[in-house]
């Protein structure tokens, strides 16, 4: 069984896979810059199933540690990173947003403090 078709069109298709193994937020910038330009977040999440697999790394615009979301790109403003313990979808309360603006050009993102 080969990879799904969307993989060929994903911005990360030629990126170094090591970038997506990062779960520390300060090391996640390069991978998240690919995710910020991607329209396949749902497909990516379905392919990897990070929660079920207790994944560590970057999948679908989210930073995962042991299958839990540490941070995620805002779906409506993908240059903004939401930092918290879990995603809004999994909780009835909003996650905390701190130090979360990503600054820079399309190809270069920096976290503000």
pLDDT of residue 83: 87
Q: What is the mean pLDDT of each run of 10 residues along the chain (113 residues)?
A: 84 94 90 93 93 93 93 84 58 36 40 37
What pTM value is reported for the model?
Answer: 0.71
pLDDT of residue 82: 87
- Gap between the Cα atoms of 112 and 4, Å rounded: 36
DSSP per position, the chain:
----THHHHSTTTTS-GGGGG--SGGG-HHHHHHHHT-S-HHHHHHHH-TTTTT--EEETTEEEETTEEEEEE-SS-TTBEEESSS-GGG-SSPPP--S-BEES-TT--EE--
């Amino acid at each position: 069984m080969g990879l799904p078709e969307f993989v060929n069109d994903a911005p990360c298709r030629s990126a170094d896979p090591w970038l997506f193994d990062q779960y520390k937020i300060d090391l996640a910038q390069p991978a998240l810059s690919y995710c910020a330009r991607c329209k396949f977040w749902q497909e990516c999440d379905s392919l990897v199933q990070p929660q079920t697999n207790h994944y560590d790394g970057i999948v679908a615009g989210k930073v995962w540690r042991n299958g839990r979301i540490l941070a995620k790109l805002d779906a409506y403003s993908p240059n903004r990173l939401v930092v918290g313990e879990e995603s809004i979808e999994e909780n009835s309360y909003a996650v905390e947003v701190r130090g979360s603006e990503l600054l820079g050009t399309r190809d270069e993102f920096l976290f503000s403090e």
